[in-house]
Chain A
Amino acid sequence: MQFKGRDIVSIKDFSREEIDYILKTAASMEQIAKQGSDMLHGKILATLFFEPSTRTRLSFESAMNKLGGTAIGFAEPKVAAIKKGENLADTIRVVENYADVMVLRHPLEGAARLAAEFAKVPVINAGSGAEEHPTQALLDLYTILKEKGTIDGLNITLMGDLRYGRTVHSLAYALSLYNVKLFLVSPELLRMRREVSDAIKQKITVVEASAVEDVLAETDVLYVTRIQEERFPDPTEYTKVSGTYKIDLKTLKDAKEDMIIMHPLPRVDEIDHEVDNTPHARYFQQVWNGIVTRTALLALILGAKK
């Protein structure tokens, strides 16, 4: 399986076998992610974040440092050239000279695809508008596998902003490669984006519901997302759906004992803090799994792992 030099633009570019291989590699990187290594000594990662980010950027930078490499980049688009009006294609063709791999977050959909077409070095999509966030999907799959021992055979509920939430788009595409039953729970206005639901319905059983209580008793993994306020074209639409769903102890009374709750973070108010102390909560473990998965991806893409 060839990963060296490969872009990670969309999770749709990967087969089930390739994803399984990445997850297997991630499992083998747990110890390295803890202790550190020099397997990417001399390699440089550039983080190009045209949108604000805390965890994804830090996660990539931390992963690169753990492997002995170096991270450079910018965290907001106020940097000189972009503020002066430089387009993305030019920025990419400049930055590729400084780095061995690039991580890009951009507000426009398709930005990572465009960047990958212009770049001579591999491009990793760290969020392209409301479209996709493939490395989040990979760390989510890794979390499910680590916690449940399998992905096949599970009933998985994606809940929240399924329209603008890029993490659920990538995760839904990825899960459609496995033998899972998918419940989609959201307010009417935030239903799953059509191109995603059309594609996944061709591969797996998908059930749409408006209340999580209707599907909770069957759920093995509950994946909750925040409403992506910043992506609403009309702010009045946001006020219509804000605060319309929340997971708290009362909601969880019918949940399976071993059901796990995941969240890509940051959360606002969709998971009550009292849930953090229940055996269901896994969202802070996801953060660590993000480091592990990204060390695996960087090692594979830069050829340090085969």
Chain B
Amino acid sequence: MSETTLRVSKIRDGTVIDHITAGHALEVLKILGITDHVKSVVTVGMNVPSKTLGLKDMVKIEGRELKSEEVDRIALLSPHASINIIRNYNVVDKQLVRLPKVIRETVKCANPMCVSNSKEPVKSTFYVDNEEPLRLRCHYCGYIMEKQDIHKQF
């Protein structure tokens, strides 16, 4: 049994988000819309020792299998995170997060003069121009958002 599993209990059915960049677990929960109103068991591990990352965060969500479009948003914060779908204590699917080409609603345009920040009936929309370093381009005003613009929104 590994050191990680000793520290965090196993779940029967649900999703384990592993290899989250250390310090970003709570932001990942926010991105997924997991707030204090959620009834299911959610286990958060922060600064867990990792062979590949040194330190990592991880999140276990009991009774909920995340859809791919949900987990892809995690790549905005943690491009190396992995998603494990658990059924009856077994990992039945494992995949790395990947940024979609278009990101809608998750973040707002950092340009205060962008029309998407006004009272118009539109959803913020961004194109992923570059993944590493992260660069998102606003569909409406063309403003380029970088990692710091995005992270401070969570």
Measured CB to CB, the residues of A under 8 A from B are: 10, 12, 87-89, 106-111, 113-114, 117, 128-131, 194-195, 198
Contact = CB atoms under 8 A, between A and B. Distances in A.
B113 A195 contact: no
A75 to B, nearest CB: 21
Given A88-B115, A108-B113, A108-B114, A113 B139 contact: yes
Interface of B: 111, 113-116, 118-122, 137-144
B142 A10 contact: yes
Nearest to B117: A108
Given A109-B115, A130-B113, A195 B120 contact: no
B144 A109 contact: no
Given A129-B113, A130-B113, A110 B119 contact: no
- Dominant SS at the B interface? loop
Contacts of A129: 113, 141
Given A114-B140, A131-B141, A195-B144, A109 B114 contact: yes
Contacts of A106: 115
Contacts, number: 59
A130 B112 CA distance: 12
B134 to A, nearest CB: 15
Contacts of A117: 122
B144 A110 contact: no
Nearest to A231: B113
Contacts of B137: 195
Nearest to B139: A113
A306 B144 CA distance: 36
Contacts of B139: 110, 113
A168 B139 CA distance: 20
A166 B115 CA distance: 16
Given A108-B115, A110-B114, A129-B113, A194 B144 contact: yes
Q: Which 8 A-B pairs have the closest CB atoms?
A: A110-B140, A109-B141, A110-B141, A110-B115, A108-B115, A111-B115, A195-B144, A109-B113
Given A113-B140, A114-B140, A198-B144, A87 B116 contact: no
A89 B120 contact: yes
A28 B111 CA distance: 41
17 contacts: A10-B142, A12-B142, A87-B118, A88-B115, A88-B118, A88-B120, A109-B111, A109-B113, A110-B140, A110-B141, A111-B115, A113-B115, A113-B141, A117-B122, A131-B142, A195-B137, A195-B142
B121 A110 contact: no
B6 to A, nearest CB: 48
A89 B122 CA distance: 9
B70 to A, nearest CB: 26
Nearest to A86: B119
